[in-house]
Amino acid sequence: MTRTWQISTPTDAARARVAAARTAAAYGVPPRERAHLVTALSTHLRHCLTKGGTWTVTLRVPDTDVAAGTLHLTVGPAHDPRGGGQSSWRMSVVCPGGGVPPEPEAGDDAAVLAEALLGADEDTAAVLDRLAEQEKLVAFHREELHQTNQGVLALHADLDAAWRAQREAFAAERAARTEAEEARSRLRFLADASALLTTSLNHEEILRRLPGLLVPRYAERVDVWLFDHEDDRHRPTPHPAAAVLAARTGRPQYAADHPGDLPGVDDQPPSALNPARPLLCVPLLARRTPLGVLTLSPPGDRWDPDDAVMLIELARRASVALDNARRFEHNRDIAETLQRALLTDLPSTPGLRLAARYLPATHGLNIGGDWYDAFRQPDGSLITVIGDVTGHGLHAAVMMSQLRTALRAYAVDGGSPGRLLSRLHVFLHHLQPDLFATAVIARFSPDDPTVTWAAAGHPPPVLRLPDGRVHVLDAKPGAMLGIPLRQEIEDHTVRLSPGSTLALYTDGLVERRALGIDPGIDRLAAALGAFEPAELNADLDGSADRLLVPLLSDSERDDDVCLLLCHIDSAAGGEPDRIPAGADRLR
């Protein structure tokens, strides 16, 4: 169904507005959509009246028997009968149910028209009431949202504060972990460096190791000034004023153009020798005696205070290591001097030539226990002896000298090698009950082609025959000298022919910790048997040196070495050698 109105005056417009509102209401259009329709129509009609002329309002509604449909409203110029021109206004609303015929339109009576307009505005009032309710609901939700936002903001603030606190805690934990790791690294370095310095008893080696430990991690440069280490033949080396002050006061000094803020360290002006570089001068003190000064340049602009504390402690430990090394070297020099002074100038005997070698240990204070000797008895016999006192150092050297003197005193009264060793055994047991010794004595009689020997706990003599065969004379040796045991040491005799060589030695020549002593004696026998007869007869001293080469080329020795060769000249004459049965081992 279609209805049309011609609009040229405000009254026409009011009549069309009222009719449209009633029709929409009759067809069940909800109040909100109906108010929207009427308001939009009123606004457009107002514009049309402003423009002037005649306008047509067309309203198409669905049939009455249709359950639902669409209401179409069109406003256009009167000369466009279809109302579909470009200047037309259109609006459509949905009709939920079938419509009923609207009431008769308002006539020309103004009172009737006014009543109709007031009735048409009821929809607007209903919409406004609904709008008011919605505004209250919006206000309620706005307040609720505001409260929620405030809670969210407070929660965010709490979370932010907790995050900041957690971040600060993590940072503090990382800093503490880093500090602990650095402290552990310093302690580990200090322990390793101390072990490396204290394992050496050579102060020159300690001085060489010290810069390698500190450069470049803790120092750019390291200088060690030892007070008694400067060579007087050269011009004295200038030292920083801070180093001199550290030597005088015994306190560490820091020389730089800025304060060091180092614990336990005095600040001083920069050094005139190198003003651009800070210097840390640490005195080297041992038993409250200044040994020197350690001067360090930092790897960067300055030191960390904890690093400086560690360096001062390392300097203290280096001082102890240097002092121990010097004391060791001093005692070693005294012992070696004493021992060498007691070594005998070998006597010259017709038909018998002697060659001796003494070599101190290559490391350790092992000097003092080994000795050799050769002297004549009143009857013209030649006594050769080689021995080893247990222990090392000055005490062993002194005991060795006492045994040597006692043996010479006992030999004045005569006596065989076994008798002399038995008397030395009693002497040592009463003189030093906690000290022991080993020895072997060989006696060569004039005009007698024999040698008599006796051993007490000592490696057996080795005899080389002129034909190159080698025998180890190990028959029935006695026990060590000085043990709490009564013993009478036996003598053994073997005939010698010209060209024979008897080797007496200490265990340092043949014994190795990993192998024992027997393999070393075998090596000695093999090396002695490898000589040509003419070599021993022509150059016994050179033969002694050549004999030591294969025996001492394996490693460093931790014990002294003594070797005494007794060679019968080939022109001496005599019967062939005869070795007593069961008195030796053939090598």
DSSP string, 373-392: EEEE-TTS-EEEEEEEESS-
The type of residue at 51 is: K
Residue whose token pair is 């014994």: 511
Tokens linked to 536: 């021993």
Tokens linked to 346: 């070998």
Residues 6+ apart with CB under 8 A from 486: none
The CATH-assigned architecture of domain 2-120 is: 2-Layer Sandwich (3.30)
Phi, psi of 125 (to 5 degrees): -65, -40
Neighbours of 205 (CB within 10 A): 14
Q: How far is CA 170 from CA 156, 165, 166, in A?
A: 20, 9, 6
Q: pLDDT at residue 419 above 90?
A: yes
Write down the pLDDT at residue 582: 46
Q: Which of 388, 405, 289, 395 is nearest to 334 (CA)?
A: 395
Q: pLDDT at residue 574 above 50?
A: no
Distance CA 346, CA 355 (A): 8
Distance CA 36, CA 127 (A): 9
3-class DSSP state of 61: coil
- Beta strand ranges found along 147-300 (DSSP E): 221-226, 253-255, 266-268, 279-286, 289-297
Do 495 and 449 meet the contact criterion of CB atoms below 8 Å apart?
Answer: yes
Higher pLDDT pick, 574 / 265: 265
Exposure class string for 20-44: b at 16+ Cβ within 10 A, else e: bbbbbbbbbbbbebbbbbbeebbeb
Q: Which of 375, 378, 347, 342 is nearest to 358 (CA)?
A: 342
Give 32's pLDDT tier (boundaries 50, 70, 90). Answer: confident
The class of domain 343-586 in CATH terms is alpha beta
Phi, psi of 280 (to 5 degrees): -110, 115
What number does CATH give the domain 203-330? 3.30.450.40
Q: CB-side exposure of 179: number of CA atoms within 13 Å?
A: 9
Q: Where are the domains of the chain?
A: 2-120, 203-330, 343-586
Tens of pLDDT, residue by residue over 550-566, are 888 765 566 788 999 99
Write down the pLDDT at residue 581: 45
Tens of pLDDT, residue by residue over 318-357, are 999 999 888 888 877 776 777 677 677 888 888 899 999 9
